[in-house]
Structure 1
């Protein structure tokens, strides 16, 4: 039997033994997020075009507050993936740096009747895309208007994604976005203690690349300088120590490194009575701390609990074993990055503290624009595929010849007829 006959027989076999289509309504399809869509209609009816123009200074600055950015305009502009002038970006970053330098390393904040929202907002999942700029808007929607609610962010906002610089700018001068708001609403918004990655991490991952792609290395250097002015931790209502950040490059060991990288033990509350610390093999530095140590720390400092971020949770939060004296969770982990790495499908959460009441609000990820790896355009990204297919096509054409012709292969991409 010839090769052609074999292929025909195999095709007939496949047709006769094909798997029947599953029973059910084929016009309905369930997406990963649980939503049901009609397969006979477009899932997304229309897409709003990205912003393509750079705002003028008249658009950038508020017409009401002299010297202040236009909050509503910038919020919409950034949501549409818009960019601003390098000078405007530097203005935001430099103003924020001035504010941070005036703050103490340990922030003190009291609860108010309007309520404070405290969240760990992690903005550094790796490629294919980082949608945390859009999840940040969701946090503000759930938590309330920053003009009347204080926000305390505990986590990293940059690296391993494609929307890191927007949250940096948003939190530095715009009232509706945490870093920025303190300049517009002094006293109403608590400036966030951050945990931006070390500059070596920034260079290794995507933050520096993003700054250079969207703006310039000058903007990146200004961001790094601003990070060094950030506070170290915060104490809420003289009861809660909020940590997992740093205000400058941490040393190879010591207190600052431990604040950034230490974690509760995996068997928190079930350790040996004499055990205090373990080497943190997961992080590769710092330590795991035990339930006993956490309780002793809280008692010694007259605190109720430690609120921390920096560790993914399926439900967006985790309450650890209650304190032996007061029955309140000794450690609380808050993680506000939904669908971490774009693959975890985890929920996110924010912790809302009002007067003496503490509530946890969960939310799911927000759809975001798609970006190619390392900010490539579609033409650059497609060139290797075009090259490969063109080479295959040329090689196939050269192989079509008379039976008496002989080919001598020169290299992987060239053939000569002899």
Structure 2
């Protein structure tokens, strides 16, 4: 324990470091800000502001579990510090835990009864909780539910004579159609619902026929491209195709989850990927990410975007199709590709993943949850997830999984990286993230990985964002714009200044 004299002298130094951390935060260097806030906390752990500010930085990196821990510590240090409750409530909101968030915003309102932003967030939470209760009350039991896909006959949908957009002749999706559709999307034109239904329904049938773990064979002399999160950044998706070629049998891709949410063009992204899948099933493989789920789509924008651009029926249909997406892929029996990461127990075999019944919303624990949510950590063993879901796993866990399954490499996505990728765990794990300048504010590069057979040595290509294209629905994690009617140019968290 430091002496009282030393402790007293630490206070001004801690404040200096906090100001440096604030500057890093304002520059969107959230990892650096977390490191600096940590230093300030080590010098003076009894300042609730430091804990709350670090919670806010964790939130910006989508580390909601860590944000909740830090905000809780801020409340313990100062039970009357309103921002501690505010930031914990914000993290709960981001995780879809509306009832927990409601309690925290009620406390904020109690401490700051005249704060308009606190009142606004409380109202939003109350609305969300009421909506949840209503949905629970009218929910149909699982055993009685019918597939919305079975009720749709796209052939019977009339195409108006004045429609001048891309058209599918008959039942075959052609390259010419996909190119025309992409050009229409570039010009902010919509695809007719008849063809949108056709694409989504045909994709559903193909995905349903696949196993939860898909084996991919890349012939010697051929290549294969793995892309990470795209998150509705349509123009950056098209830039990938311009840099690396359109998907085809000779130029196949795997998009490793999180196609939608956050970005303003998630509908365009998912229809483009699905259309290529319909055109040539072996040209493009699709894996489920943690954002291909109802709960995430409600919070982060996709559900509202679909409702706005297409219809309520499409909301249900996409939810069904997302439950058909495979959970992982293995390339040439050597490279394991998954959105999130590995497991809370040793001994998981590829056969265990193949046997997962994936046709459901992701559970909050177990193999399927961990595949979609887990993250690597720099130290050995396993630890709690910084996200509050899944877990963190070390290089020893990665090494053991590879050895048990006679594999060479894990490729995963799920985390924004400054350079678009990161190589960890003694070179045995690569994170690839393909949404540059994520949410129009992170300043990161995007990346994709080209694997050349037979050695499958990863060649990583990085790229920058092509435009500042309205990428974020409503400033990072709070795409409540579609859920609560917040406009895109509104600042939803003025209260959250560090």
For residues 382 and 152 of structure 1, the distance between their equivalents in structure 2, rounded to whole angstroms, comes to 34
Contact 2:225–2:451 (CA under 8 A) maintained in structure 1 = yes
User: How has the CA–CA distance of structure 1 residues 186 and 122 changed in structure 2, closer, same or farther, with 3 Å as cutoff?
Assistant: closer
Contact 1:89–1:219 (CA under 8 A) maintained in structure 2 = no
Structure 1 residue 78, shift from structure 2 partner: 1.0
Q: 2:267 aligns with which of 123, 145, 165?
A: 165
For residues 162 and 360 of structure 2, the distance between their equivalents in structure 1, rounded to whole angstroms, comes to 34
For residues 82 and 55 of structure 1, the distance between their equivalents in structure 2, rounded to whole angstroms, comes to 16
Structure 1 residue 60, shift from structure 2 partner: 3.0
Could you say what secondary structure the match of 1:191 adopts? strand
User: How has the CA–CA distance of structure 1 residues 79 and 234 changed in structure 2, closer, same or farther, with 3 Å as cutoff?
Assistant: same
Structure 1 residue 122, shift from structure 2 partner: 2.9
Could you say which residue in structure 2 is the equivalent of 1:135?
236
Give TM-score, length-normalised by structure 1: 0.66
Q: Map 1:319-398 onto structure 2 (within 5 A).
A: 319-322=423-426, 329-355=427-453, 356=455, 357-370=457-470, 374=481
Q: 1:94 aligns with which of 186, 201, 220?
A: 201
User: How has the CA–CA distance of structure 1 residues 332 and 162 changed in structure 2, closer, same or farther, with 3 Å as cutoff?
Assistant: same
Gaps of 5+ in 2: 1-158, 341-357, 475-480, 491-498
Structure 1 residue 247, shift from structure 2 partner: 6.2
CA shift digits 1:286-317 (9 cap, x unpaired): 21111111111111110001100001110111
Contact 2:440–2:470 (CA under 8 A) maintained in structure 1 = no
User: How has the CA–CA distance of structure 1 residues 350 and 369 changed in structure 2, closer, same or farther, with 3 Å as cutoff?
Assistant: closer
Contact 2:223–2:451 (CA under 8 A) maintained in structure 1 = yes
User: How has the CA–CA distance of structure 1 residues 133 and 367 changed in structure 2, closer, same or farther, with 3 Å as cutoff?
Assistant: same
- Does 2:339 match 1:244? yes
Contact 2:288–2:372 (CA under 8 A) maintained in structure 1 = no
- Does 2:228 match 1:120? yes
Contact 2:165–2:184 (CA under 8 A) maintained in structure 1 = no
CA shift digits 1:198-240 (9 cap, x unpaired): 2122112211111111111111111111101110100011111
User: How has the CA–CA distance of structure 1 residues 58 and 344 changed in structure 2, closer, same or farther, with 3 Å as cutoff?
Assistant: closer
Give TM-score, length-normalised by structure 2: 0.56
Q: 1:144 aligns with which of 245, 257, 260?
A: 245
Could you say what secondary structure the match of 2:269 adopts? helix
Contact 1:158–1:197 (CA under 8 A) maintained in structure 2 = yes
Contact 1:121–1:136 (CA under 8 A) maintained in structure 2 = no
Could you say which residue in structure 1 is the equivalent of 2:388?
284
For residues 371 and 407 of structure 2, the distance between their equivalents in structure 1, rounded to whole angstroms, comes to 17
Structure 1 residue 90, shift from structure 2 partner: 1.3
Higher normalized strand content (fraction of residues): 1
Compute the RMSD of aligned alpha carbons: 2.7
User: How has the CA–CA distance of structure 1 residues 290 and 216 changed in structure 2, closer, same or farther, with 3 Å as cutoff?
Assistant: same
User: How has the CA–CA distance of structure 1 residues 134 and 235 changed in structure 2, closer, same or farther, with 3 Å as cutoff?
Assistant: same
Larger radius of gyration: 1
Contact 2:417–2:433 (CA under 8 A) maintained in structure 1 = yes
For residues 321 and 328 of structure 2, the distance between their equivalents in structure 1, rounded to whole angstroms, comes to 16
Gaps of 5+ in 1: 1-52, 125-131, 174-180, 323-328, 384-418
Could you say which residue in structure 1 is the equivalent of 2:166?
60
Contact 1:62–1:71 (CA under 8 A) maintained in structure 2 = no
Q: Map 1:311-326 onto structure 2 (within 5 A).
A: 311-322=415-426
Q: 2:257 aligns with which of 149, 155, 164?
A: 155
For residues 241 and 359 of structure 2, the distance between their equivalents in structure 1, rounded to whole angstroms, comes to 24
- Does 2:316 match 1:221? yes
User: How has the CA–CA distance of structure 1 residues 247 and 262 changed in structure 2, closer, same or farther, with 3 Å as cutoff?
Assistant: farther
